[in-house]
Amino acid sequence: GAGVSQSPSNKVTEKGKDVELRCDPISGHTALYWYRQSLGQGLEFLIYFQGNSAPDKSGLPSDRFSAERTGGSVSTLTIQRTQQEDSAVYLCASSHPGRAYEQYFGPGTRLTVT
């Protein structure tokens, strides 16, 4: 079946611009995660959605970052007024109810802020 998809695969933007990153999880997966991976760094948790519950936004690094999940499916991560330190690969993952540990990752969006 279809895996997690993300778009765009690459995004180059100028400092100060806003960007939107999209994630389509696997159908039926109620849990959705956003992570950030900088060069040589581990995955940094950003935000978690589970069904209709309030999202866990505790990992968002600043108020420039926000995320939505519409209809329990597609999610959008928005970064406002991008900074150079936002450059990273942004990974989305989804998991099946009851198997939260088995996260299926999308291919990521490589964001470069110039």
Q: How many residues does the chain have?
A: 114
Among residues 35, 66, 29, 26, the alpha carbon closest in space to that of 50 is found at 29
Type and span of the H or E element at 21:
strand 19-24
At its nearest, how many Å lie between another protein and the CB of residue 66? 19
Nearer to another protein, 14 or 98 (CB): 98
DSSP for residue 56: B
**Of the candidate residues 41, 66, 78, 112, the single one contacting another protein (CB under 8 A):** 41
45 is a site residue for another protein (CB under 8 A):
yes
- CA 36-41-42 angle, to 5 degrees, is 65
48 is a site residue for another protein (CB under 8 A):
yes
Nearer to another protein, 12 or 100 (CB): 100
30 is a site residue for another protein (CB under 8 A):
no
Spacing of C-alpha 108 from chain mean position: 8
Q: Which residues bind another protein (CB under 8 A)?
A: 31, 35, 40-43, 45, 48, 50, 56, 91, 100-103, 105-108
